[in-house]
Amino acid sequence: MIREALFVSAILFSIGVLGVLTRRNALILFMCVELMLNAVNLSFVALSRLHGVGGQVFVLFVMTVAAAEAAVGLAIVISVFRHYRTVDLGRIRLLRG
Amino acid sequence: MMGTYYTIHFWLFSILAIVAAMAMVTRRNPVAAALWLVNVMFALAALYVMLGAHFLGAAQVLVYAGAIMVVFVFVVMLLNLGENDVKERRSVGAAVAASAIAGALAAELLYVVRAQPFPVDGLRPVDADALAPIANSLFTDNLVAFEVTSLLLLVAVVGAVVLAKRGKVAGEART
């Protein structure tokens, strides 16, 4: 059961990585990051069956950090959108050399 | 150890999560992607409950599917993206390279998990009281981390307001 849960977690994490690498839409990129955090949460929960409740407490912390990250990240997206009128990361190239 | 009923539902929710995640990654419309992500969150909440973390299942639905996704959908609504805005330039080469990297990562992770010996029996029993063990650990061993987390949330709230505010933010003078 734990092994299967870790398999699912690994696959979900890889899908998140795939999304981060392929997508150029800032909003969907953030969603992929959330997906990766969730995949890690799943492995924490699965391993908490082996190693005690500490894993579940850590998932709570990850959830809080994810909420904070989403709030600040999306505020940045809004702010960037006001400036460039786009959320396409391919067209936001101020720092490109 | 576990019955067929359990196994069937475990794989049902696992496959639902994976399919919904694939759908989310490939959708062009941010709202569609957000809804597929909600689907993933619900499937994961079910998996948490099946793994014995009842409280986290509830928290997953409330915090992720309830709060974070609402923030995403709100931002999509605020930005009011048109058909041209969600169009992305895609190159086949980049997609192939990204798939190769993600596939290699998945293969590595699956190999590592496969090589690890996990006990089939001898798992910790699921506590009938879903909340007390978590609360005990959270408010004794992890109290400092808990307080720091509340500070982090405060900073995030202030930061989000400052960043998203219209007006005299640096670089916003032109608009």
Q: Is residue A97 part of a domain?
A: no
Cβ under 8 Å to A: B residues 45-74? 47-48, 51-53, 55-56, 59-60, 63-64, 67-68, 71-72
Total of domains in chain A: 1
How do residues B53-97 score in pLDDT, each as one tens digit? 889 999 999 988 888 888 888 888 888 877 777 777 777 888 899
| Residues 6 or more apart whose Cβ sits within 8 Å of residue B58 | B45
- pTM, two decimal places: 0.89
What span, in angstroms and rounded, lies between the C-alpha atoms of B163 and B158? Answer: 9
- pLDDT tens-digit profile of B155-171? 999 998 888 887 655 55
For B34-50, the pLDDT digits (tens) are 999 999 999 999 999 99
pLDDT digits (tens, 9 = 90+) for A33-85: 999 999 999 999 999 888 888 889 999 999 999 999 999 999 988 888 888 88
Query: Do the Cβ atoms of A29 and A43 come closer than 8 Å?
Result: no
Q: What is the CATH number of the domain that holds A62?
A: 1.10.287.3510
Nearest chain B CA: its distance from A10 CA (Å): 6
B15-30 pLDDT, tens digit per residue, is 999 999 999 998 888 8
Instruction: Show the CA angle centred on residue B28, arms to residues B23 and B69, nearest 5°.
Output: 70
Domain range enclosing A42:
2-91
Do residues B21 and A13 make contact, with C-beta atoms less than 8 angstroms apart? no
pLDDT attached to residue B170: 54
Asked if pLDDT for residue A6 goes beyond 60, the answer is yes
Q: What is the ipTM of this complex?
A: 0.90
Q: Indicate whether A81 belongs to any domain.
A: yes
Q: Residue A93 above 90 pLDDT?
A: no
Structural domains of chain B sorted by starting position, each given as residue range(s) with its CATH number in brackets: 4-141 (1.20.120.1200)
Among A24, A35, A92, pick the best mutation site for testing chain B contact (most B Cβ within 10 A).
Answer: A35
Name the token pair of B78. Answer: 């605020």
pLDDT for A92: 78
The pLDDT of residue B175 is 47
Token pair, residue B59, equals: 């928290």
